[in-house]
Amino acid sequence: MARQTPTLEHVAKLAGVSQMTASRALNGRSGVSRETRDEVLRIASDIGYVVNRTAQKLSGGRNGIIGIITPTLDTQFSSELILGAGRAARGAGCEILVYTVFDEDRHPHHDLLGLIQQFSDGILAILPRESLCLEALSNARVPVVVVDQRGGTLTDFPSVSVDNYGGARLAVEHLAELGHKRIAFLAGDETIEGVRDRQRGYHDTLARLGLPREDALVAAGDLSQMMAFDVTFDLLNLADPPTAIFTANDQSAFGVIAAIREAGLRVPDDISVIGFDDIPMSEQFHPALTTIRQPFQQMARSAINTLLAQIAGIGAASQRITLPAELVVRDSTGQVRTKQGDAPHQIVST
């Protein structure tokens, strides 16, 4: 004879409580003593009872799960935000479920939206680019908060981001205070609004400080270490090369430093390098990277709190939360050194 599937009624009967009390205990709600909750959870585990989250969601309740959508899990940028969101969610009695959307230029499969609707009370979207996924989420009938994306067609979604423009200003001002006049910028993916803001902050600050603004001092990158390594040689081979390089993210800064070493030069003795993000590896790298810190934990916490307020039916106090960036000075930047009588030389990537 087939084994009967355990039900909430079975759990309640074995625990000697009402089904309402058993439900409260299983879903972590108030109104249940700790002893009763522990006993209900023990019995449910013993008999193999599993909370039916789908039925709970469809019945109009909440299941205490927050979905996170991100295009990738293999960058420290995404992982830091996910870790911070997980801490904030668990602190509020919720759990997270992470979905990866590998192709942001396509509408997500309808099964993904079905899962979101069934299992998630709300969605935290870590999507720096404008994405058709967010367009689809507007029809998913769940609250959505976006991290690191603003403007465009997505103004209906509350967003949390860092002050990318202000962070770039801090970077250029720091290099200028060290005496650098020829400051290069290694750009990134221009489809990302935050990257465009960093480049705009770089240009505007150079102009305000009266420093040279040359097209040759701006190199195209894609936020990867490999691309940064390759394009750095173009900057080093300029007739009048930069004495400092500001990169759109930390990963690019690592590639720049590797290229400078390959060229037989030293950081910061010959060239200063400053990044943007302050991912954990920045402090462990050699030399330790001077960078602009994004407050990942605060960003994630603010996004989760905004999302939880929406889930509770409370409108966002502000549709756009912009947190300040911070200059973190380490070992990769230093006073400019002027060299007298040095002949230009060509540096070739090997």
281: CATH: 3.40.50.2300
Question: In this structure, what CATH number is given to the domain that contains residue 36?
Answer: 1.10.260.40
When pLDDT is cut at 50, 70 and 90, the band that residue 346 belongs to is very low
- Same-domain check for residues 115 and 203: no
Cα 300 → chain centroid: 8
Q: Are 272 and 246 in contact (CB under 8 A)?
A: no
Containing domain of residue 137, as a range?
65-157+297-314
**Domain shared by 224 and 271, yes or no:** yes
60-114, pLDDT tens digit by residue? 556 788 999 888 787 888 899 999 999 999 888 888 988 887 555 555 555 566 6
Counted residue by residue, the chain has a size of 350
CA-based angle 123:79:144, to the nearest 5? 10
**Does 202 map to a domain?**
yes
Tell me the average pLDDT across 309-325: 84
Q: Judging by beta carbons within 10 Å of its beta carbon (0-12, 13-18, 19+), is residue 55 exposed, middle or buried?
A: exposed
pLDDT score, position 115:
65
Structure confidence by residue, pLDDT tens digits, 105-139: 555 555 566 666 667 889 998 876 666 677 777 77
Residues 175, 112 share a domain: no
Residue 286 lies in a domain: yes
pLDDT for 128 equals: 67
Residues 19-68: pLDDT tens digits?
888 877 876 667 788 888 888 888 877 777 665 554 554 455 567 889 99
* Same domain flag for 145 and 40: no
Give the side-chain half-sphere CA count within 13 A for 127.
28
User: Could you give the number of structural domains in the chain?
Assistant: 3
Same domain for 235 and 249? yes
Q: Give the residue carrying structure tokens 């400051």.
A: 183
341, part of any domain: no
Same domain for 306 and 244: no
Same-domain pairing of 288 and 172:
yes
Return the pLDDT at 345. Answer: 41
Q: How far apart are CA 109 and CA 103, in angstroms?
A: 11
- Kindly list the distances between the CA atom of residue 201 and the CA atoms of 25, 34, 72, in Å, as whole numbers in the listed order: 52, 54, 27
Same domain for 217 and 254?
Answer: yes
**Does residue 90 share a domain with residue 201?**
no
> Residues 277, 179: one domain?
yes
